[in-house]
Amino acid sequence: MAVRQSGVAKAPRLVAYASNEVHGCVPRALEMAGLGSDALTRVATDDAGRIDVAALRAFIRADRAAGLTPFLLIGTAGTVNSGAIDDLDALADLASEEGLHFHIDGALGALGMLSPEIAPLLRGIERADSVAFDFHKWGHVPYDAGFLLVREGAWLKDTFASPAAYLTRADTGLAAGGDWPCDIGPDLSRSFRALKTWFTLKTYGTEALGASIAENCRIARALAERIAVEPDLELLAPVALNIVCFGYAPGGVGGDGAINRAIVEELHAAGRVAPSLTLVKDRPAIRAAFVNHRTTADDLDALVEGVLRFGARHSPWR
């Protein structure tokens, strides 16, 4: 609480941890909080893109020994690059042993909890102190519809509620009611974003949303299987959820992946399919992320066919 008055400069040297696959919003948040992005240690990941828990533990111990104050551990439930899910149970154990706040970035993957098929992959998410997730990604709600769930509502009030004469509460009438939105978040005036999410949940229900999520994951697995048997394509990361990272690799030779950049540009210009481009282990990769309930096997055909056609056109090997 004192930090609200005295600022972070007077606080202990607070440090945080996440994997090197963490989304850019996390270092950005540390910058905005005045701690600086150097306060974040980015821990190595395994071949599946999941944080190395043993290395993480060693960093925390070393930082404490050096007089720093570890305070925050961020796990990712669905990395933006490949959809990888950290071992959330192991992270929850470590956070509790070390007395850290355990936050989960579930922007991309947390809504998998709506599908009985996908939920087991997210085991441990229920142990978080806070979870961020987006209904504007897998929840079919228009931008923006970001959510934060925290274990103790009092933390939000301690952080944000401020007395102000013009916000005086009353027992009855327009100024009645308990907590106001400005008591639990940084905005004073803000739009009613929750409404569109509420309508989506009311109209379709969690079962239909979950079924669509599971279907997107099946489509992603089908694409991965297709890539495995296609001699001119290579899978560049394991498929955990709805994201497939792959590349053009005639005869199994993908080179430095530079050709994938050109292929994605061509696909965008052609307009039939719209994968994005990312880096997997520093190599450009074609990234297909499935969130649309209308995506079918026909779209996979169009994607594979397009990649092979544009790949052959740009190939230095042919």
Ligand X SMILES: *Cc1c(COP(=O)(O)O)cnc(C)c1O
Smallest separation (angstroms) from ligand X to the CB of 191: 15
**Residue with Cβ nearer ligand X (23 or 103):** 23
**Residue with Cβ nearer ligand X (136 or 226):** 136
Task: Return the structure tokens found at 91.
Answer: 């992270």
**Residue with Cβ nearer ligand X (8 or 25):** 25
Smallest separation (angstroms) from ligand X to the CB of 138: 10
- Taking the alpha carbons of 289, 295, 299, 300 in that order, is the dihedral positive or negative? positive
Smallest separation (angstroms) from ligand X to the CB of 264: 18
**Residue with Cβ nearer ligand X (145 or 259):** 145
Smallest separation (angstroms) from ligand X to the CB of 212: 18
**Residue with Cβ nearer ligand X (23 or 50):** 23
**Residue with Cβ nearer ligand X (25 or 302):** 25
The CB density around residue 98, as the number of other CB atoms within 10 Å, is 17
Chain residues binding ligand X by CB under 6 A are 23, 25, 76, 78-80, 105, 107-108, 134, 146
- Taking the alpha carbons of 135, 246, 21, 120 in that order, is the dihedral positive or negative? positive
Q: Closest-CB residue for ligand X?
A: 23
Smallest separation (angstroms) from ligand X to the CB of 25: 5
Question: d(Cα 230, Cα 253) in Å, to the nearest integer?
Answer: 12
Smallest separation (angstroms) from ligand X to the CB of 241: 11
